[in-house]
A and B are shown apart, each in its own frame.
Chain A
Amino acid sequence: MSTVKPIIIKDLTKKYGDFTAIRELSFAVEAGEVFGFLGPNGAGKTTTIRILTGLSRPTSGICKIFGQTIRDKIYQHIGVVFEENNLYQRLSGKENLDFFARMYRVKEERVDLLLERYGLAEAASRPVKNYSKGMKRRLLICRALLHEPDLLILDEPTSGLDPRSAEVIREAIKDFKRAGKTVFLTTHYLEEADELCDRVAFISRGKIAAIDKPGVLKRKYGQPFLEIRIESPVEKEEMKLKGILSAEDRIYRDSNTLTIRLSLDTQDAGRKLDKIRENFNVLDIHSQEASLKEVFKQLTGD
């Protein structure tokens, strides 16, 4: 299993009538990496996940998981956490896991182990409808990990969670990667993608806009900048400051200070910095790398 690429997608297209949800999508996910699949709402992320998990058929193109087409029996090797909390609400947490354990022919001890590991042992006999959102998400992770899959497919796993619960999920992803396994992740939280992903793909209007390591994409598409904090100038001086800066630069006002975000993408950045130093009382200067958020804006226009 490990020598074969966990996911290979080639020229994948999905149409719903006249609407094309994804268009000739091609990419591969390497074994052992956390792969981020990012894009705005309606970009085609969920459609891709539905095809990946065999819930939907592509109009054309190839989609292989561990070298097998989706309709083959690949389910023992994938664990899926959907965007929705799709649990049996009237059953208890343990009953939910027991049911899927029987589906995968997994021993009951594994259920108890996961419930314990994700802090759900005490609530195991309570109906899921009484669980908090964080508990439901943790239970979904338990369900996805029940049969010890080689590939974890996660659709917005931390969406709407409190920081503590989100951290538990992020740790689970890191643990999974540490075990040499592969994660396919979609998320709206670009900081999270930056923290977790080895590579990310940006999808926009059903097409891959860019795919690479987060650092490479930030250098390629983002604008590095200097953050200069100065003492708040009087009105006349502020007019002078605006004369120094150009359209791509930004000013953020605080109570007693002004923060200038000076773009390093232009050739006269050095000249501008000198002028600011000459005319204003500079408190501190930081150089900043572009964030994935900026790459996202640049690539998707959102």
Chain B
Amino acid sequence: MHKLARIRSIIIKDLKESLKNKTILIVVILPLAASLLFSLIDNSQLDKTFNIGIIEGETGNLAEFISGTAGNLQIFKYSDINQGKKAMENGLIDGLIVKKGNGKNMFLLYLDRQNPVNSLVLKDTLQNLIRVYLKIEPAFNLQVVLVENSRVEFSFLPVWITVTMTMIGVLVISGNLAEEKDNRTLDALLVSPASMVEVLIGKGIFGIIFTVLTVLIMGLLKGVLEIGPSGVLSLLLIVITGSLGFTALGLLIGVITESQSSARSIGTVIYFPFLFPVLIKDLSAFTRQLAQLFPTYYLQQGLERVLIYQGGFKDIWFNLVILLIFSMIILGFALIKIKKAMNT
């Protein structure tokens, strides 16, 4: 009973301290700010208006037809092809329509390749518009309906931001433990009735609570929590299981490093080997296999299933098991190191 009270006191003390620690606040606020910033950029992408150049005179009423038919295509008229190409080189237009030769229905469409997605969309759209203009059958009417699943709030961005936030324990806990060692406050704690195990349990729970709170704040700010109660529950399950492993990793770093600065450096650097293979997983079959060796893969997959496809426990149980195994392995390592440190 007393042990639980002491662990609770350590958690409260660490939470209080972290709120007054500028480094930790920056670690939390930066991904939050990035998340909000990226969503703004992403939203503007959805409403993008494309600029299309047309050579005057050659193309008849095509410019007026496009303007009147497609609201997100803005037409710019040029007197000759060279002027149009120059505008494209300067990034003023995304595409250029040119009449080819003397043929009545021959058109050339120049597209800026810089953004492959945009060029693909423009190719299809303009091709269809020109077909309709020329009354070439079969003209078809394609109506795009944005379903709720594709809302930017549930897109890949929050998934990745949640992945990095779930990993925050590595940075926060390694720095926190190393700071206690550096400032010798750990000595003061260990000559009190609190044992090293109690201190580490307290710090571990603090790390998980801190991560969950950060994810929930991000979720509230970005509307991610609109996935419903069972979705939120699944999100919490995967975040808690993931953060358990990364908090244990933070404890391990905190135990093995000599100083606060080395703990923070290792804590920062360790992000990359965990994140990078998962970031490039779709490049090839090999990169996918490589990514599957990292717990971050299962964390990202689980979050994707919950946040994008609004899956439940049955969709993420395998990811939870893998993350739990990872957590147990890291916790085991941490305990061995801690035991060794306590025996010296």
Contacts and interface: CB of A to CB of B under 8 A. Distances in A.
Contacts of A78: 191
A103 B9 CA distance: 7
Nearest to B2: A105
Contacts of A103: 6, 9, 189, 192-194
B27 interface: no
Interface string A53-95: 1111100000000000000010110101010101111110001
Given A84-B184, A102-B5, A75 B17 contact: no
Contacts of B190: 54-55
Interface residues of B, number: 22
A104 B20 contact: no
A75 B191 contact: yes
A80 B191 contact: yes
Interface in A102-144: 102-105, 127, 143
A249 to B, nearest CB: 47
Interface in B166-187: 183-185, 187
B13 A99 contact: yes
B17 A104 contact: no
B17 A90 contact: yes
Contacts of B2: 105
A221 interface: no
A280 interface: no
Contacts of B343: 57
B191 A91 contact: no
A54 B187 CA distance: 10
B94 to A, nearest CB: 53
A84 B187 CA distance: 10
Interface string B18-51: 0011000000000000000000000000000000
Interface string B326-344: 0000000000000000011
Chain B facing A: main interface SS? helix
A89 B179 CA distance: 11
A82 B5 contact: no
B104 interface: no
Interface of B: 2, 5-6, 9, 13, 16-17, 20-21, 183-185, 187-194, 343-344
Contacts of B187: 53, 55, 82, 86
A56, A103, A127 interface centre (most CB from chain B within 10 Å): A103
B193 A75 contact: yes
B191 A88 contact: no
B193 A95 contact: no
Given A54-B191, A57-B344, A104-B193, A88 B13 contact: yes
Given A84-B183, A95-B16, A102-B6, A90 B193 contact: no
Given A100-B192, A102-B6, 7 more contacts: A86-B185, A95-B16, A99-B13, A102-B5, A103-B6, A103-B194, A105-B2
Contacts of B344: 56-57
3 closest Cβ pairs, A-B complex: A86-B184, A90-B20, A102-B9
10 contacts: A55-B187, A55-B190, A56-B344, A75-B193, A84-B183, A87-B185, A88-B13, A91-B17, A102-B9, A103-B192
A91 B183 CA distance: 14
